[in-house]
Amino acid sequence: MVVKKIISSPFVAIAVLVTLVAVIFRFSPKLLLSRQQRLFTAEELALHNGTDESIPILLGILGSVFDVTKGKSHYGVGGGYNHFAGRDASRAFVSGNFTGDGLTDSLRGLSSTEVKSIVEWREFYFRSYTCCLSLSSEGQCLVFTLPSPAVRFVGKLVGRYYDNQGNATKYLKGAEAKAARGAQLLEKQKAEEAKQPGCNSRWSQDEGGEVWCDTGFPRLVQRPLEIALTGKMSKRCACFLEDQLDQQGLEVYEGCDYLSQTCRV
């Protein structure tokens, strides 16, 4: 009786499934690929922009190509995301520039956090239709495909991110490395800023904004890692006790008393 209960346990079934996946992945990882990958040229991809209803609507991001036909109300002609169809417009995922030169796969000049966001968008499209066991820089998503995916990974775009053999180029590896650095810097910034509590804040159209501290006094301080993350310097509001106010780099809000706990901004 006990043995029967153990065998019928869902936890045992899950363990068996995980073991089976590991064995398949170990000895024949290609069996896990959802379907044969296709290599697209830019000219071929451009045909899939939604104007021809007899062929799928495709988009590219960091060289990975996805079939988004099931979302044609968004990606088809007249849809809000049609500017992504038939091309790799990786840059536009963070720039918001959906015209002309903005619709490009070049990431030149973008910060590490912006590149990180683009990599996360690519992973979003992968997750939209599969359960990825792993995702490598070569774009190999070892998967179980969901029964009715809204998005399908169909191949790779030959060009900046993949060569004509479907191998990742130095540009893709560089983008992923930059995204990883961005993630590390963000974690470091969060850890550093957690040491000094931030201010409370509120804003209304009628009264404007204000910041305040329940304990301590509000001061503007530089965010030293921000230049590495975004390419720009920025400041944040943090709360300091009175015996900390002689530290260098603390800025009193304009028009605010030195020992005021609330400041208008």
Q: Give the residue extent of every domain in the chain.
A: 1-31, 33-185, 196-264
d(CA 171, CA 106): 9
Confidence bin at 36 (pLDDT 50/70/90): low
CA distance 159 to 214: 55
Q: What is the pTM of this model?
A: 0.66
Instruction: Give the residue, 224 or 75, on which the prediction is more confident.
Output: 75
The answer to whether residues 183 and 116 touch, using CB atoms and an 8 Å cutoff, is yes
Residue 228 pLDDT greater than 90, yes or no? no
Yes or no: say if 47 and 55 are a contact pair by the CB < 8 Å rule: yes
> Average pLDDT, stretch 219-229?
76
Residue 25: pLDDT over 90: no
- On whether the CB atoms of residues 238 and 232 are closer than 8 A, the answer is no
Give whole-number Cα distances, 256 to 200, 222, 223, 243, in Å: 16, 18, 21, 18
Enumerate residues 6+ apart whose C-beta is below 8 A from 162: 39, 63, 139, 156, 168, 169, 172
The amino acid sitting at 145 is T
Residues 6+ apart with CB under 8 A from 166: 37, 39, 138, 139, 156, 158
Predicted pLDDT at 10: 56
pLDDT tens digits, one per residue of 68-121? 999 999 999 999 999 999 999 999 999 999 998 999 999 999 999 999 999 999
Question: How does 226-257 read in b/e, with b if 16+ C-beta sit within 10 Å?
Answer: beebbeeeeeebbbbeeeeeeeeebebbeebe
Report the pLDDT value the prediction gives residue 13, as an integer from 0 to 100.
53
Residue 233 pLDDT grade (very low, low, confident, very high; cuts 50, 70, 90): confident
pLDDT tens string 129-157? 544 444 454 545 544 444 445 689 999 99
Q: Domain 33-185 sits in which CATH superfamily? A: Cytochrome b5-like heme/steroid binding domain (3.10.120.10)
